[in-house]
């Protein structure tokens, strides 16, 4: 069994952003040489997320509006009493999830229709990383 690990780094210009990272993950899978296995993709920061969905602009805006309604940035959070201003980002990350696992078949991501991998940023403007770990044969 092979194991391959790589980190992707992101620094968004805005506090919140949704970045389609499917091409970068596909490149890591190709580099790994794994033909049959799994790839784990997870955000290594507690104010960012990795999730799978459709890459459609209206849906991305819907996510952003939905998350802002559930955990508005300007609300009062006890976490912010520590001097931070990102209590909302921690909650948004919890809602969107930490990681995804995708099957690798014939050396390619084995997706359903329209599925893409996204990096969700909820407290941006600084460098953060995503772990990509490919395991298989």
Q: Across all residues in the chain, what is the average pLDDT?
A: 98
User: Cα-atom radius of gyration of the chain, to the nearest Å?
Assistant: 16
Both tokens assigned to 100: 């995804």
Residue extents of the structural domains in the chain: 2-136
pLDDT band at 24 (very low <50, low <70, confident <90, very high): very high
Q: Where are the beta strands (DSSP E) in the chain?
A: 2-10, 17-20, 36-43, 48-53, 99-105, 108-109, 116-121, 128-136
Q: Which one is the CATH code of 2-136: 2.40.30.170, 2.60.120.460, 1.10.10.10, 3.90.1150.10? A: 2.60.120.460
Give percent of the chain above pLDDT 90.
100
Give percent of the chain above pLDDT 70.
100
Ramachandran area for residue 16 (φ above 0: left; ψ -120 to 50: alpha; else beta) = beta
H helix runs in the chain, sequence order = 22-32, 57-70, 87-96
pLDDT digits (tens, 9 = 90+) for 80-91: 999 999 999 999
pLDDT band at 61 (very low <50, low <70, confident <90, very high): very high
Place of tokens 């520590």: 82
CA distance 111 to 29: 14
pLDDT band at 49 (very low <50, low <70, confident <90, very high): very high
């Amino acid at each position: 069994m092979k194991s391959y690990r790589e980190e992707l780094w992101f620094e968004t210009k805005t506090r919140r952003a949704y970045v389609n990272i499917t091409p970068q993950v596909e490149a890591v899978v190709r580099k790994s040489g794994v033909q049959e296995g799994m790839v784990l993709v997870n955000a290594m920061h507690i104010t960012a997320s990795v999730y799978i969905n459709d890459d459609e602009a209206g849906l991305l805006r819907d996510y952003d509006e939905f998350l802002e309604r559930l955990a508005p940035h300007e609300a009062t959070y006890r976490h912010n009493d520590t001097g931070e201003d990102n209590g909302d980002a921690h909650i948004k990350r919890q809602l969107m999830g930490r990681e995804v696992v995708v099957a690798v078949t014939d050396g390619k991501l084995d997706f359903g229709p329209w599925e893409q991998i996204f990096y969700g940023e909820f407290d941006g403007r600084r460098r953060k990383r995503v772990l990509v770990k490919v395991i298989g044969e």
